[in-house]
Amino acid sequence: MINVIGLGYIGLPTALMLASHGVEVVGTDYNKELVDTLNAGKTTFKEDGLDELFAAAVKAGIRFTTEYQVTDMYIVSVPTPYDKKSKKVDASYVNAAVKDVLNVCPLNATIVIESTISPGTIDKYVRPEIQATGFTIGRDINLVHAPERIIPGNMVYELKHNNRTIGADNREIGEKVKDIYASFCEGEITVTDIKTAEMTKVVENTFRDINIAFANELAKICRSDNMDVYEIIRIANKHPRVNILTPGPGVGGHCISVDPWFLVGDYPGLANIILAARKINDSMPEFVLKRISEIMKENNITDYNRVGLYGLTYKENVDDVRESPTLQLLESMRDHLAPELKVYDPYVAKKITSNQILSFDEFIKDIDLVVIMVGHKQLKESLPLFKNKIIFDTRYTGLFDKAYYL
């Protein structure tokens, strides 16, 4: 049996995938309300294919509880935020979960850390926690790192098809964990050491962040000198070895916007390009706010109540609002003591910010300027309702005949 600890955006799909492929699984989370919802037969967030996967896992016998189980393998998938002052990973959730596992696990149990962590986190935080209890790592407890590699909106497919990395102290233990993941993963599974696995995951997301930052910096440069950044990128990308991304309003989610900070925090003075990229991407919501002011002035709009932000999530067609550029923009307005703009998102059913409108019809009828922060599929389905509105399309969706862009 495998006890999956943490039933959020990563832990739940992982637990369901294992269970639906014949592995006995118990999912554990400290949040009783979340566990009760799962035991009532309902998933806790929206994701393509998740409900079907949930049904298959329940049929296969998956169980959900707030209690840690006595078993020989644990998969820890809890949050790993970063300290916004030091930029270092906050390993407190991982350590707390490991400590609770150690209270119940038998000798020779394997603890798999699936949470994304900075290189060296297991050495600095997890090993000392285990050793302080009197366990000997490699004899009494086996440690493994198996970082997740999936993206909201395509989780179920990517869990099954993406390549995976298993980091272990002991090759034999690594191969055993590989066999568990191979029960559902059709991608290549590489076994390596723990620190390499930690670093590989962070580097993957940092690479993406730097490439996004280059596109966003181009947008700022081109805006300053009245050039069309999208046309410039389109032509530059005709070069066989150039692939510039499309600029956007910022970087959200728990991976790309967070993981690079781990390297900045752990390697000050060395992670210079990474730091610059983070600053550029974090500055984009403020840049969008400046563009909103320019567009308002150009169109003689003086009332912020006539401006609405479409999209609260960090990417299209998901309900995940972690590190959302829209929320960052609203926070920036609060810092400037500016009135909060109206905001709507078809995937966010509960109010999470004061000026959020839950009805699309109500949102669209009372505004003159619509700022597209997220390119949800609802946009294409609702195009007639955007007629006669001024559009600022920060995502360059290509859906509008006439629009302002970054």
CB-based burial label for 295 (10 Å; 0-12, 13-18, 19+) = middle
Annotated active-site positions, please?
201, 255
Task: Tell me the DSSP string of 177-212.
Answer: HHHHHTTT--S-EEEE-HHHHHHHHHHHHHHHHHHH
Q: Report the alpha-carbon distance of residue 371 to residue 367 in Å, rounded.
A: 10
C-alpha–C-alpha distance, residues 326 and 311, integer Å: 7
Burial 90-129 (b: 16+ CB within 10 A, else e): bbebbbebbebbbeebeeebbbbbbbbbbbebbeebbbeb
Whether residue 173 contacts residue 112, with contact meaning beta carbons closer than 8 Å, is answered with: no
Biggest CA pair distance of the chain: 72
Q: Which has the closest alpha carbon to 285: 232, 254, 249?
A: 249
Residue at 175: amino acid letter:
E
- Are 239 and 231 contacting, i.e. CB atoms less than 8 angstroms apart? no
H/E stretch holding 228:
none
Helices (H), 225-271: 229-236, 259-266
User: Nearest-5° angle of CA 62, CA 94, CA 22?
Assistant: 20
Which residues partner with 145 through β-bridges?
113, 167
Q: Which H or E run contains 296?
A: helix 272-298
Q: Supply 400's token pair.
A: 């509008």
